[in-house]
Structure 1
Amino acid sequence: MTDPLRVVLLGTAAGPYPAPGRQGCANAVVVGGRVYLVDAGYGTLGKYVAAGLSPRDLAAVFVTHLHSDHVAELFTLFLLGWGPANQGVVDPVPVYGPGPDPTDPGPPAAGTAGLIAGNLAAFGQDVAVRQRTSDRPRLAGLIRATDVSVAGETVVHEDDRVRVTARAVPHPPLHLALGYRFETEHGVVAFSGDTARSDAVGELAAGADLLVHEAMEPDFYRSIGYAPKLLDFLAASHTSPADVGRVAAAAGAKRVALSHLGPADPARLDDEGWLRRVRPHYSGPVVVGHDLLDLAVSKTV
């Protein structure tokens, strides 16, 4: 019997550089067979299919922020998984994510809606040919991209299976990065997105049955010779595994999964190394994320 609420860590690597053992950041929240995707880094579509998920069951996509390691395959997911053949997407799918930075003094960079529009234009020849030569709905009509703005904790999506709220989290220098909370009748799951240690994540994860939190180990980057300026940048925009433990404990999260791991290569820091850094600060169960790790989630008292 399929668990009514599952989280599949499709990709668990931090950063845009490919690394052995893990691929780009992506997570599937599966509620009664319906799929809600959080981020779509490199390798997402292959992992999505390898997890036994069907593009036809994709109900919504939630983008935490617009760094390439979180959106590299956002459009590819639709471009290669669209149409009635092979259980592709045939119904509109909402896509939520940050908009453009209103304070950017240069030419405006695209937000989530602009990213989708730009990809539709870039792949216009391919899309047009496929629409002419096969029985497919218009691709532009299937991707309903919305630029999200938040004030405190904001409801961004609600349907008959899930209520999703978003909150801004600190990931400088981006003007907006988001964490998400998924509330279902079967349990609650929270995602930190990329963030420095933050009370905002604690609020999203309050009492959650599972918190999926990024983790970056500064000692590793110090050991391989990163310059002090870059180390300061990483510390200001990411969370150490020790601080993940502190956030989870303060939030009362029932279980924690570490993902978006830096270093991404398991040979550089093994599971026990990650756990050893979290355990002094959090007494609940912790799992170290690996691609395709499938976690059943249920309400806990």
Structure 2
Amino acid sequence: MNASLCTDPFGAGSSSEAVPADAVRLTGDLGDGPLRVVLLGTAAGPYPAPGRQGAATAVVVGDRVYLVDAGYGALRKYAQAGLALRDLGGVFVTHLHSDHVADLFNLLLLGWGPANRGVDHQVRIVGPGPDPRDSSAGTAGLVEHGLSAFGQDIGVRTRTSPRTHLAKLVQAEDVSVESTPTPVYEDDRIRVLAAAVPHPPLHLALGFRIETEHGAVAFSGDTARSRVVAELAASADILVHEVMDPTYYRDLGYSPELLDFLAASHTSPQEVGQVAAEAGVECVALSHIGPPDPRAVTDDDWERPVRAGFRGRIVVGHDLTRILPTRS
């Protein structure tokens, strides 16, 4: 860990220190394959940090793209990854924290219509429903309010260019599941299971398993260490798992109460290794990395504690990292 950053909870460093550049091109496994995973954004949030954008991952099956979360910067990273929105097959939302959905509506609003390889077909968006404890919206409500808020823009574009009204292209669905993996989506390319994972104080946060004929990819979402994630990820080719370094935040002087809260909501690198080993996955990819600034914790310092409990492949996530399964 870089001690010089420990006075800044957002990892900004001093004004004289070089700021990490945002990724603009793909790295990692650049070969071809019928199943590819692209880490579009790998930052924990909600505060933006240099060097990483908000949480978003693309699962590419043949020529179709499925998106898990759409944090800030997701649309730009989607384009920089060379992906076309006309190929978007569906979006799966782990939970409704802002750093996971800030670009969700932008994905449709700014990439809508047949021009520029945009969305011109119905896209299903699957995510948690409303919180019964208050009147806050679920995934369907979030999209519905977005359509209303941008009604003038949508109306003008519908009248002035040949395109289907955006409301007819979006099918947002609220799901309510418990800790048992449950099917929530299926088409001719993928089958998706979801299960509730512990991310208090949210009413519902989801982990996902995306199954294809070419392999399986699992997502922890934001969660404390959970056997539910190991069940979702059982024998998967790739597990994309969130990670938080408690040492970094302890050294910042966070109170014991706040540290306990973070531990109840997130997973340490040691615990990620244990979950990956329990699941028997081929590869674990670290994403939703906290602290997000690449200068705060080195890749080696992320990998070492994961390696203590897991002997498979480890990918320390950076934006636009591409991963191919090795045993499909």
- Tell me the TM-score normalised to structure 2 length: 0.89
Which residue of structure 1 aligns with residue 112 of structure 2? 82
Which residue of structure 2 aligns with residue 57 of structure 1? 87
**Is the 8 Å Cα contact of residues 35 and 57 (structure 1) preserved in structure 2?**
yes
More divergent stretch after superposition (227-236 vs 204-213)? 227-236
Code of the residue aligned with 2:60 in structure 1: it is V
**Correspondences of 1:1-301 after superposition (within 5 Å):** 2-102=32-132, 104=133, 106=134, 108-151=135-178, 152-299=180-327
**Is the 8 Å Cα contact of residues 254 and 284 (structure 1) preserved in structure 2?**
yes
Code of the residue aligned with 1:19 in structure 2: it is A
**Is the 8 Å Cα contact of residues 171 and 237 (structure 1) preserved in structure 2?**
yes
**Is the 8 Å Cα contact of residues 11 and 22 (structure 1) preserved in structure 2?**
yes
CA-based RMSD of the aligned residues comes to 0.9
Q: Helix, strand or coil: the match of 1:175?
A: coil
Give distance in 1, aligned partners of 2:295 and 2:326. 32
Q: Helix, strand or coil: the match of 2:113?
A: coil
Q: Helix, strand or coil: the match of 1:83?
A: coil
Shift of 1:160: 1.3
Code of the residue aligned with 2:116 in structure 1: it is N
Per-residue displacement from partner, 1:211-253 (whole Å, max 9, x unpaired)? 1000000000111111222111100000000000000101111
In structure 2, the gaps of 5 or more residues are: 1-30
More divergent stretch after superposition (149-158 vs 238-247)? 149-158
- Tell me the TM-score normalised to structure 1 length: 0.97
Shift of 1:298: 4.5
Shift of 1:2: 3.1
Per-residue displacement from partner, 1:112-161 (whole Å, max 9, x unpaired)? 00000111111111111111111110101111000011142111111111
Give distance in 2, aligned partners of 1:68 and 1:60. 19
Give distance in 2, aligned partners of 1:156 and 1:232. 32
Give distance in 2, aligned partners of 1:184 and 1:299. 14
Q: Helix, strand or coil: the match of 1:253?
A: coil
Provide the aligned length of Structure 1 versus Structure 2.
297
Q: Helix, strand or coil: the match of 1:281?
A: coil
Q: Helix, strand or coil: the match of 2:143?
A: helix
Which residue of structure 1 aligns with residue 16 of structure 2? none
**Is the 8 Å Cα contact of residues 274 and 288 (structure 1) preserved in structure 2?**
yes
Per-residue displacement from partner, 1:24-45 (whole Å, max 9, x unpaired)? 0000000001000000000000
Q: Helix, strand or coil: the match of 2:217?
A: strand
Sequence identity percentage: 67
Which stretches of structure 1, 4 residues or more, deviate above 4 A after TM superposition? none
Per-residue displacement from partner, 1:59-117 (whole Å, max 9, x unpaired)? 00000000000000000000000001001000000000000111x1x4x0000000001
Give distance in 2, aligned partners of 1:85 and 1:188. 33
Shift of 1:48: 0.1
